[in-house]
Structure 1
Amino acid sequence: MKSTYFYKSVLALAILGLASCKPTIDTPAPTKGTADFTRYIALGNSLTAGFSDAGLYLEGQKNSYPEMIAAQMKAVGGGSFSTPFFPEAQFNGSGYLKLTALVNGVPTIVPETSNLAIRGQVGSVNLYTKYTGNIENFGIPGIQLAHAKIPGYGTKNNYYERLLTDATINTPYLDFVTAKPWTFFSNWLGNNDILGYASAGATGTAPTPKGAFASQYAEVITKLTSTGAKGVVATIPDVTKIAYFNTVTLQTLLAAINATPTGKDVKDIYIQTGAGIPRPATAEDLFTLTLSSAGVMGTPNGSNIPYGLHPANPVESHFVLDKAEIAVVNDFVTSYNNSIKDIANAKGLAIMDAYSMLNEYGAGKMVNGIPVSAAFIKGNLFSLDGTHLTPLGYAITANAFIAAINAKYGSNIPVVDVSKYRGVKLP
């Protein structure tokens, strides 16, 4: 997601206070157990790449969870690990969102447009500066499971394209990442098979059919384990619990509208449901982070009907996951996760339950003295896009992967010191 968000009155009601941190951590004696970490490769999408704040940039890449895991693996025989970093002179990569002010709970969030790694464009699609070095972090923003075996996918995804040459431009992703021998892997593919649909209010690309997801996932794992390599997989997070869907709420919308001179005594926000029937929203519906009260809610259309305040001009479906759509999303995520666990267990792999882990931290938890939750900005876990993680969130994720690896293979990879990593960068 690459939208610019200008949150005013709604987020002023949602954001109260910011967190401080004074953590400590113990380091266990390292052992490798039954696993071989000589060459660790990481497969996945934007979360694996270190995507944050609606963009991929050098700081996020350096603070990706595979980078953290690989650094800790060095204590147990891990080898070198390379992420396809953007150049230092183009450290802002694709561009991202930054917080420039936070006044009385009102954030000002704008796009970063300097020092970008853009070498040109094809139509409206940016082409990023090519990377030609070694790669062990194969996180590709936007990739779905089906894309892993598609020849020519490099011509469809600009993040993948920057890693390829003229000779390899048609190489399928799965062939590209397994072109060199590997001894251990992590796999977090599958998130985008539901995320795009959900984040567009169930108006985006349809979820991957459950059977297709299972067969495609099995193909990826069969390839990764074909050499006898061990590894760890991660489940799909609970999309409905991320900050993207839990910041702009019915309560904050009503409070913001009623705080305006023309919005007194408004009791209902009308939404366009997936079934095409306008109705008043309830607390069981989820609004996207991209919906703002400022300049949108209550603004009349050409027929002088206020937006969102009348069934004849409801909040558009792409801004809302209604109750029925939430049930569909949850059903697909549950099915996907059952497939991931079954396939991983059949191959004897470690499983990092990202669904449970992110829900646990999202609900509120202290981590080495740091308060963490899914709250937007103040919660430290999610970045400014409300979907991807902060460096601190990625550190927590790295430790969850490490815990799963240690439990499965009898290893003792040291955990990451989360105190070294920030939450949302404040002005």
Structure 2
Amino acid sequence: MIKNFKWLALASLAFVACNNDDAVVADANSTDGSPVTAGTANFSTYVALGDSFAAGFSDSALFIEGQKSGYPSILSQQFALAGGGVFVNPLMKDNIGGFIVGGVQSTRFGKRLYLAPGNKPTAVDGTSTTDISAKITGSFNNYGIPGAKAIHLDFVGYGSALGNPYFTRMASSAGATVVSDALARNPTFFSLWIGGNDVLGYATNGGVPTSQDAVNGDDITPPATFDFVYKSMVTKLVAGGRKGVIANLPYVNTLPYFTTVPYNPLTVSVLGGGSDAVGLATITALNTQLYGPLVSALTAFGAPTRIKLLSLTAANPLLIKDESLTNLSAQLTAAFTPSLGAATAAAYGAIFGQARQATAADFVTLPSQSAIGAAPTALDSGIGVVPSSPLNKFGITYPMQDKHVLTATEVLEVKVATDAYNVTIAAAAAANGLALVDTKSIMDLLNTTGIVADGFTMKSTYVTGNSFSLDGVHPSPRGYALIANKFLEVINSKFGSNIKGVNLGDYRILYPKSL
């Protein structure tokens, strides 16, 4: 009924990852051409605290060149023009990224991606030389820890063998916290951008709950918990009148990870494997054999909007499972038993009891593009067995599962939490005289009109928008440069400094295969 279904969102990309590979030299001029001054700030010892964004994570990995191009590194170079001192990153061992465990590349902490021929994000060759159990010593200024939530930055044990390996490798002791190690540097200025991971893990899992485990849990952090730990952390950071800059949070579902794969990719051409004639015949067969009977049954049970017949002219939405819907499995089983038999009807009931077609309010995750049209397995079918033909095409004849899609209900949960976190962050900035970067508004612009700077239009479009790397979550080098400039804008405004910032043209869009 349906030919092999292959669809790749990157197929239409025509992109050249070009840029200046020379070292970026800081411009000694200020915003108005006068000598650079720090204003009322003191940049002599700057520390950065945060998560993977502060670390310089990019293309699904942490690696040397990425760390050097992160926004804290760029800020430190600009601060140096106004009296800032040396800024030390806890560098990884190579530009492959990830960790090795017992000499073998970790699957959890994998290698960085590059754009291979055919516009395919691909892991680089080789094996990391960064051993997950190896400690590094010294004084560091960058305490951006990939994977960290707000609670983690002041969590005792986060630097232990059972904690986060990115912090464990650099922690002064197993009992140290990120905050305590950062403060041990006696900083004169700090940046803090944290909270994205407090909702991101839940969202990238497609809204599948895990746990509130302090180290490995991926559920949404309760706003009350975030409020308590964030305010406590900021109180420690500003002690003695220390100045700094903090940032609020965009909605994570606006990241390319969630916006690249359309909710309605099922055109006549796609369903026909490039042939309109085959696609038209496929749609007719689907409407007769599957969609029509489902529409009739669901209408009879008071759920007529869940599924509609496939269109012969418009792009059709994916079939998805929505656990927020009333489960109509028993009703569908009863309705289909006379025509299909008890066993087959029960399977239909189990599969389609909470099925519906996706809408523009749902977000298909970037990795799930490879699942569209693929055959469910016993592990990912949601019913514990392999469904037989014709119910063996994810998104077409079988609902995409919870992990594949962030539904409208789950998006609302993310937004409610993010809004609460941003209230906390804004209050902390106001109460402590801190500069505040409105990254939510910045992301809103990247998603709409774009931001024009240095002759470039920065947008959130996957890869071609200049701003994001191949993992769809973390910025590209040019994206990090934009972030650094936005940090500098609010620092200048709050503290009277006049640091010009960097030219975005000096930062590449994507990293090549070899560095």
Q: TM-score, normalised by structure 2?
A: 0.73
Deviations 1:223-246 (A, max 9, x none): 000121000001112212111011
**How far apart, in 1, do the equivalents of 2:468 and 2:317 lie?**
29
Q: How many residues align?
A: 402
Structure 1 spans left out of the alignment, 5+ residues: 1-6, 120-126
Output the aligned Cα RMSD: 2.4
Structure 2 equivalent of residue 393 of structure 1? 479
C-alpha contact 2:19 2:506 (8 A) present in aligned 1: no
Structure 1 equivalent of residue 96 of structure 2? 92
Which of 1, 7, 10 is 1:9 aligned to?
Answer: 7
Are 2:189 and 1:189 equivalent residues in the alignment? Answer: no
User: In structure 2, do the counterparts of structure 1 residues 91 and 299 end up closer, same or farther at CA, with 3 Å as the change threshold?
Assistant: closer
C-alpha contact 1:377 1:384 (8 A) present in aligned 2: yes
Q: TM-score, normalised by structure 1?
A: 0.88
Higher strand share: 1
Structure 2 spans left out of the alignment, 5+ residues: 21-26, 99-110, 210-217, 284-309, 311-315, 326-353, 377-385
State the 1:32 CA deviation: 0.9
Q: Look up the SS of the partner of 2:143 in the other structure.
A: strand
Aligned pairs for 1:42-53 (under 5 A) are 42-53=48-59
State the 1:365 CA deviation: 3.2
Identity of paired residues, percent?
34
Which gives a bigger RCO, structure 1 or 2 (Cα 8 Å, sep 6+)? 1
**How far apart, in 2, do the equivalents of 1:369 and 1:306 lie?**
48
State the 1:108 CA deviation: 1.7
**How far apart, in 1, do the equivalents of 2:193 and 2:447 lie?**
19
Deviations 1:33-56 (A, max 9, x none): 111111111000000000000100
Structure 1 equivalent of residue 420 of structure 2? 335
Structure 2 equivalent of residue 4 of structure 1? none
User: In structure 2, do the counterparts of structure 1 residues 174 and 39 end up closer, same or farther at CA, with 3 Å as the change threshold?
Assistant: same
Q: Look up the SS of the partner of 2:208 in the other structure.
A: coil
**How far apart, in 2, do the equivalents of 1:398 and 1:45 lie?**
15
User: In structure 2, do the counterparts of structure 1 residues 317 and 177 end up closer, same or farther at CA, with 3 Å as the change threshold?
Assistant: same
**How far apart, in 2, do the equivalents of 1:297 and 1:352 lie?**
42
Structure 2 equivalent of residue 180 of structure 1? 185
Give the residue type in structure 2 aligned to 1:303: S
User: In structure 2, do the counterparts of structure 1 residues 244 and 203 end up closer, same or farther at CA, with 3 Å as the change threshold?
Assistant: same
Q: Look up the SS of the partner of 2:241 in the other structure.
A: coil
State the 1:74 CA deviation: 0.9
Structure 1 equivalent of residue 468 of structure 2? 382
Which of 219, 238, 246 is 1:225 aligned to?
Answer: 238
Which of 401, 424, 441 is 1:316 aligned to?
Answer: 401
Q: Look up the SS of the partner of 1:233 in the other structure.
A: strand
State the 1:359 CA deviation: 2.2
Are 2:499 and 1:413 equivalent residues in the alignment? Answer: yes
State the 1:269 CA deviation: 1.6
Give the residue type in structure 1 aligned to 2:505: S
Which of 123, 126, 135 is 1:111 aligned to?
Answer: 123
Deviations 1:302-345 (A, max 9, x none): 3221333467x310111111111111111111111111001111
**How far apart, in 2, do the equivalents of 1:118 and 1:275 lie?**
43
Q: Look up the SS of the partner of 1:252 in the other structure.
A: coil
C-alpha contact 2:191 2:246 (8 A) present in aligned 1: yes
Structure 2 equivalent of residue 142 of structure 1? 147
Give the residue type in structure 2 aligned to 1:80: V
Are 2:359 and 1:354 equivalent residues in the alignment? Answer: no
Which of 78, 86, 92 is 1:80 aligned to?
Answer: 86
